[in-house]
Structure formats: C-alpha cells, structure tokens
Amino acid sequence: MSEPMIKTEIQGRVGLVTLNRAKVLNALSNELIDEVAQAMRDFDANDDIGAIVLTGSEKAFAAGADIAAMKDWSYADVYKQDYLGHNWESLRRIRKPVIAAVSGFALGGGCELAMQCDFIIAGENAKFGQPEIKLGIIPGYGGTQRLPRAMGKAKAMDMILTARMIGAQEAEQAGLVARVVPTEKVLEEAMAAAAVIASMPLPAVMMAKESINRAYESPLNEGLLFERRNFHALFSTHDQKEGMNAFVEKREAKFRHE
C-alpha cells in the first residue's frame, strides 16, 4: 500500500495535519488537497478540538501545486474540474482557527495554502514565493488577492512579477508572518499557540475569527456592525458568564466551550 499523503494526530484539544509527500516537497495534488480538506472538516466537527495546525516537512511546507500532474491539462480540463476551486475553496469554510507552521519552501500554492490559514508561524529557514510566472501561469489560489492584503501592493507585485522568494524575516517585517522562531521549534511553537487558543472559550474564538475575516470582505460600517452583533451574541453563552464571574471572584475560569 502507498504511504498516506497526510498524517493526522490529536494532542489535547489541538488537531494536527502534516503533509506527507516529502519526496516531491509536498507538491499539492488534488488528492492531497482532498485529504487535507477532509481531515480539517473532521477536526472542525469534533467538539473536543478547539484549534488546528497545518504543517509540512523541514525542507518544505509545500512547493506548490503539483506541476507534473497539471502540465498537460487543457483549458477545458481545468475549467470543467474548477481546478483550485471546489476542494481548495472548501478549506475556507473551516470555522475553527487554523495555524500554518511553515518550515522551508512555501511556494506557489504552498504560499497560498499558508495564507489561507488564519496565521503563519515560520521557522527561520522558511522561504515564501509565488513563482508561477516562470511556468507561464499566475497564482491560482488567492496569491494575487491575499498577498497585497497581507503585505501591500509593492511587495505583492515584486514577488509575483519577479518570482523572487523572500525569507522568514522579510515576511515577518512585511506582515505575512505572525512569528518567526528557530526552525526546529516551529511545530512546537505552533502547537503551543494552538493549545492556548483551544483553551479559550470556543464560541468567542470562532466569532473572533469570523469577525476578523469580515474585515477583508465588507466595508468598515458593515464589518463594525457584524462585530458588534457577534459581541452581543456572546452574552448568551455559558463561557461569557463563567469568564466574567471568574474574573470578579478572582478564580480560574472553567470554560465549557459553549
């Protein structure tokens, strides 16, 4: 039997998905993305999980979409299967926080997959890039949209038009990456951050994620209203009562994630 393309594991309240095609630097075939999406959906539906980490190998988070698989596809082939649409897009519907723990190459679809996560923790050896232009294509899973939002137009144009890779420090300074840590610590740091998130009241965590994402999809007025309505809704949860009472009574809160 062939090796599974991903590995999954649960540690405490954190679900871990590890890309497992190291020989081809975790090239992102349709089959691999299907497996990632299924694993994420399972974690999302599991009441005992509060946050998810997605990682690759030390050499590569992922070196992009699988070039060998797509090289002979025609326009009709990619259009009919809605390539990078149906299975990649389903990752956007994961409602619990997802952290990308990135070591090594995060290129093309690999960079886009990392950006699709809620934030990125990078090892010092991480290299981000959108080299699609060298293949006669452009980024196809949000690179032209999420990079300028994360780093501004100048950096996005530079990276996408020249195919220049940037290192972890530059990515952090530009706002693409939340934290840079020694390469051997990247998974540990991401798992620890995910454990902190998973210890927080889940309804508030999910509404915070949803509200922040709204900032990219709506005018300020609508985003502010969306935030305020979620803020109001949280007063109906057990965890709001528990969190505030615990503070006033100077004791540890016991959240039920409801």
- Tell me, by CB under 6 A, how many residues bind ligand CAA: 22
The active-site residue, picked from 109, 110, 129, 143, is 109
Q: In one letter, which amino acid is 88? A: W
**Distance between CA atoms of residues 86 and 175, nearest Å:** 28
Considering the rule CB under 6 A, would residue 63 count as an interface residue with ligand CAA? yes
Q: Rank residues 25 and 181 by Cβ distance to ligand CAA and give the closer one.
A: 25
Which one of the spans 33-41, 105-113, 192-200, 248-256 is the region binding ligand CAA (CB under 6 A)? 105-113
Considering the rule CB under 6 A, would residue 1 count as an interface residue with ligand CAA? no
Look up 109 and say whether it is catalytic.
Answer: yes
Contact 112, 148 (CB under 8 A): no
CA nearest 190: which of 79, 110, 84, 102?
102
CA nearest 160: which of 120, 119, 107, 117?
107
**Distance between CA atoms of residues 127 and 96, nearest Å:** 26
Which of 50, 139, 201, 203 lies at the binding interface for ligand CAA (CB under 6 A)? 139
Question: Which tokens sit at 105?
Answer: 């190459």
Which one of the spans 73-81, 114-122, 130-138, 153-161 is the region binding ligand CAA (CB under 6 A)? 130-138
Considering the rule CB under 6 A, would residue 68 count as an interface residue with ligand CAA? yes
**Distance between CA atoms of residues 109 and 161, nearest Å:** 16
Considering the rule CB under 6 A, would residue 239 count as an interface residue with ligand CAA? no
Considering the rule CB under 6 A, would residue 67 count as an interface residue with ligand CAA? yes
Considering the rule CB under 6 A, would residue 5 count as an interface residue with ligand CAA? no
Look up 65 and say whether it is catalytic.
Answer: yes
CB contact set of 201 (below 8 Å; sequence gap of 6+):
237, 239, 240, 242, 243, 255, 257
Q: Rank residues 67 and 234 by Cβ distance to ligand CAA and give the closer one.
A: 67
Contact 103, 125 (CB under 8 A): yes
How many CB atoms lie under 10 A from the CB of residue 64? Answer: 26
Considering the rule CB under 6 A, would residue 24 count as an interface residue with ligand CAA? yes
Considering the rule CB under 6 A, would residue 141 count as an interface residue with ligand CAA? yes
Which of 15, 56, 140, 203 lies at the binding interface for ligand CAA (CB under 6 A)? 140
Alpha helices in 165-237 (DSSP H): 168-174, 186-199, 202-214, 220-233
Considering the rule CB under 6 A, would residue 56 count as an interface residue with ligand CAA? no
> Which residues would be at the binding site for ligand CAA (CB under 6 A)?
24-25, 27, 63-68, 84, 105, 107-109, 112, 131-132, 135, 139-141, 143
**Residues annotated catalytic, as ranges:** 65, 109, 112, 132
